[in-house]
């Protein structure tokens, strides 16, 4: 991650940077940014992040309410079923639509039957200000589930949106520290929800507490905190 700074609504964001001597043009804007006229402005207060190749920019903030953005993974709960699919609570202002055929290998005769209360891991496929968000439980580019779909037994809890984005990184210190000590499954939604599954309830409590405690810790502090929790386990 490079070029990180704090922005507030209305700030103009410079999206031009040089990589290996060549100027890069922004290719994708994430949450918190908007293209207004000839400039790109922040619409949310937070920390501006950019990918190392300068192709993506987004703003990370600890807002309570999630604003759906196309392509982001989310953890949701089915709250209703209708003829076209399911209504899923993803923590945004409006429930998301999950079509009946938005699953790997789903057909009109062969499609999943989800009960109200089912937890699912999905990606946002449609997100704009004029309609409710739409999600899918597979990668529409490959037709494969790739980890998306119904989540079985496990425990889901909420965290800040900022922590969720840090957990989604493959280098998340707390997840790496826990993974080196304990076997567990985890699904991180950028909507501030985390699902975990372990062999024992007490391990689930330990993992959940470690993740929540890690929000303001660096890598070294995360490892120390995990070790202390394991010593008490």
Angle between helices 201-213 and 219-232 (to 10 degrees): 150
Contact indicator for 131, 124 with CB cutoff of 8 Å: no
Contact indicator for 78, 190 with CB cutoff of 8 Å: no
Quote the pLDDT of residue 183: 94
**Rounded to 5 degrees, what angle do the CA atoms 88, 92, 97 make?**
30
Contact indicator for 194, 159 with CB cutoff of 8 Å: yes
Which position has the token pair 């200000």? Answer: 129
What CATH homologous superfamily does 155-232 map to?
K Homology domain, type 1 (3.30.1370.10)
Tell me, rounded to whole angstroms, the distance of Cα 39 from its chain centroid.
27
Q: What is the pLDDT of residues 119-174, one digit of tens each?
A: 999 999 999 888 899 999 998 888 899 999 999 899 999 999 889 988 988 889 99
How crowded is the C-beta side of 216, counted as CA atoms within 13 Å? 1
In this prediction the pTM is 0.78
Q: What is the pLDDT of residues 78-112, one digit of tens each?
A: 999 998 899 999 999 899 999 999 999 888 888 88
Quote the pLDDT of residue 24: 52
Measured from the Cβ of residue 133, the count of other Cβ atoms closer than 10 Å reads 26
Question: What DSSP line would sit under 130-191, residue for residue?
Answer: TEEEEEEBSBTTTTB-TT-EEE-S-EEEE--HHHHHHHTSTT-HHHHHHHTT---EEEEETT
H helix or E strand, kind and range, residue 78: strand 73-82
Instruction: Delimit the domains of the chain by residue range.
Output: 2-60, 73-151, 155-232
User: What are φ and ψ of residue 92, in 5° steps?
Assistant: -95, 180
Classify strands 46-50 and 2-7 as parallel, antiparallel or unpaired. Answer: antiparallel
* % of residues, the chain, pLDDT over 70: 92
Contact indicator for 177, 218 with CB cutoff of 8 Å: no
Question: What DSSP line would sit under 18-65, residue for residue?
Answer: EETTEEEPP-EE-TTEEEETTEEEE-S-EEEEE-TTSSEEEEE---SS
Topology of the domain covering 2-60: OB fold (Dihydrolipoamide Acetyltransferase, E2P) (2.40.50)
What's domain 73-151's architecture?
Beta Barrel (2.40)
At 223, the pLDDT band (50, 70, 90 cuts) reads very high
CA 224, CA 135: separation in Å to the nearest integer?
Answer: 38
pLDDT above 70 for 17: no
- Same topology between domain 73-151 and domain 155-232: no
């Amino acid at each position: 991650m490079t070029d990180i700074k704090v922005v507030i609504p209305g700030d103009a964001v410079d999206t031009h940077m040089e990589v290996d001597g060549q100027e890069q043009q922004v290719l994708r804007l994430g949450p918190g940014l908007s293209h207004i006229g000839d400039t790109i402005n922040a619409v949310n207060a937070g920390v501006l992040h950019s990918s190392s190749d300068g192709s993506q920019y987004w703003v990370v903030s600890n807002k309570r309410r999630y604003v759906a953005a196309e392509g982001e993974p989310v953890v949701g709960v089915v709250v209703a079923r209708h003829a076209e699919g399911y209504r899923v609570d993803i923590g945004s202002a409006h429930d998301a639509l999950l079509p009946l055929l938005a699953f790997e290998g789903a057909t009109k005769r062969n499609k999943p039957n989800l009960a109200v209360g089912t937890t699912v891991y999905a990606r946002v496929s449609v997100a704009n200000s004029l309609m409710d968000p739409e999600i899918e439980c597979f990668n529409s580019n490959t037709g494969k589930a790739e980890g998306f779909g119904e989540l079985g037994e496990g425990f889901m809890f909420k965290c800040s949106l900022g922590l969720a984005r840090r957990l989604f990184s493959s280098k998340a210190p707390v997840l790496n520290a826990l993974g080196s000590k304990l076997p567990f499954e985890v699904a991180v939604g950028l909507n501030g929800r985390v699902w975990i599954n372990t062999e024992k309830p007490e391990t689930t409590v330990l993992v959940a507490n470690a993740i929540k405690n890690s929000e303001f810790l660096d890598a070294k502090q995360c490892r120390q905190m995990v070790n202390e929790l394991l010593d008490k386990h």
